[in-house]
Structure 1
Amino acid sequence: MPSQRELPLSIPELSPEAPFIPVRMVNEYVYCPRLAYLEWVQGEFAHNADTIEGAIKHRRVDKGEGALPEQPKDDEAIHARSVSLSSARLGIVAKIDLVEGEGTRVTPVDYKRGKRPHVAAGAYDPERVQVCAQGLLLREHGYECEAGVLYFAGSKERVPVAFDEALVELTLSSVQALRGLALAGHIPEPLADSPKCPRCSLAGICMPDEVRFLNEPVVEPRPLFPSAQDALPLYVQTPRGFVRKDGERLVIEVEKEKVAEARLLEVSQVALFGHTMISAATLHECFRRGIPVTWHTYGGWFVGHTVGTGHHNVEMPRPH
């Protein structure tokens, strides 16, 4: 029996209350639905070496004006960085690293930190879907956009991505699938023995092998993290000390004179003794990074501790 051809479904109308999906989350969904749910629905995020390096690579890109001409001339050259676009019809929003072109013909360029993968499509589906979604947004705003470019900073290579029918369909279906996943409110199962997990920054929150072990006791969890802990406690015992945040560092001052500093990445907790003070901005940063702050008397007696809310990876019971 001949197979029936599947026709693409029309995009359902988005309700006014529904939030736009960041295009980066569509990338995450294609990469791992559980990761997308943790980040977009539950608000989880954790840095690792890869995410920090990626943020550093984007610093130059993110310095752009972020504006496209409203009515470009036919021969007008376009080279705009950090362009923010959204579409109520598609229900997505994006900050495009670079838009280049001439007149109404433009190409989105998405920067990636690593090296170009040697695969038939030129890049993996998550990255191709992300740049395709950016192209669809440009079309929604009246531009002609038939292809995008992935720039891999690690190998300094540009990889063209054609927005063919198959890729557009994959992109739109991924957007709808992620929205449906969020509305359902059930976290997806973790990937099974996937090589993606060990380098994922949320592995310690997702706990893929541990979750699978509870359901399938024959599975032995993999050691995803090294046992060594690089971060160390920061003890501040100086009388009249004051701890403040300066970029990625904690600065310790006495009577407004700097006496010491420590990198936030190397701090596991902050222990304050006596009347040592800490700024509100520093407390907020410690909360965000999961760094507890403990309070002690001058003699070292423990008084109390201050911690943030932690992550939100808790499936709350739902009323029936």
Structure 2
Amino acid sequence: MEKWILLGMGPVFVLLIGLEAWYWRRRRPDAYSLVDTLSNAGLALMHQAADAVAWALVLGLYYAVYQYRVFDWPATWWSIAALFVLQDFLYYFFHRASHRVRWLWASHVTHHSSERLNLSTAFRQSLTYPISGMWVFWLPLAWLGFAPAHIVAVVAINLGFQFFVHTQAVGRLGWLEHVINTPSTHRVHHARNPRYIDRNYAGVLVIWDRLFGTYVPEDDAEPCQYGIVGQVHGHNPITLTFHEWIAMLRDARRAGSLRAALGQLVCPPERALSHPARKPAVAPAVADADALGAGLESAEV
């Protein structure tokens, strides 16, 4: 169902991308790049194929959990509204964990790897999300008594909404900045400026960022610089999908001990042995202790 909802919105997405590219054509010719946009499209197709297979495999698990539900929700507008808020709440923690736990970041980094931010960037997704375990975060909703079909639909609506915040063509939106995820809020999230990194995890509602202290407003005095630390300068969808998985497994292999290797899988990205900010040479004993500490730190997410 998620795939069909997003595919149904596909023509609208493509039309808006075309309009945005036309809007920027004379104002900022560098806002769009043909090779970057084609790369985003390729990643989207790969992601949709993997997502369809993943839902086919895990939907049965959702129904199994649903059999042990603690509540029975009637099919009413207010129950769907409750599901929408609860799913958005869980999305916040999924998104935050995707920046602070390397195993999840290995999938999510693909989305952040473009040095441009435009509507086509929303298509820049990884086919490895099912491997990293995105679907696990919505399982509690089935246990709470929400029908799996409704869960999948709400997840799709949440992700569909986020397409519209991947733009630099819309400024601040007044009081809405205090309630929902906006283009301004999401521009900060995609920026690699030190003060903007790992901020503004909102899916639809920004209240979770404000409640948990992760909200930072866009500052005109510090324009957003897009991309990732240790930028991948290329457009090959395979490289963009797997470069962090390869680096993570390589770091785990050379970590020096099983404990340190596990630490490299769950540490925050900046604690990775291959992170550009780390010193070139790290003594094995130090690496072991550092990776273990990083693994414990990630439990705070």
* TM-score of Structure 1 vs Structure 2, range by shorter chain: under 0.3
Q: Highest Rg: 1 or 2?
A: 1
Structure with bigger RCO (C-alpha 8 Å, 6+ apart): 2
Whose helix fraction is larger, Structure 1's or Structure 2's? 2
Q: Provide TM-score, normalisation by structure 1.
A: 0.25
Q: Provide TM-score, normalisation by structure 2.
A: 0.26
Whose strand fraction is larger, Structure 1's or Structure 2's? 1
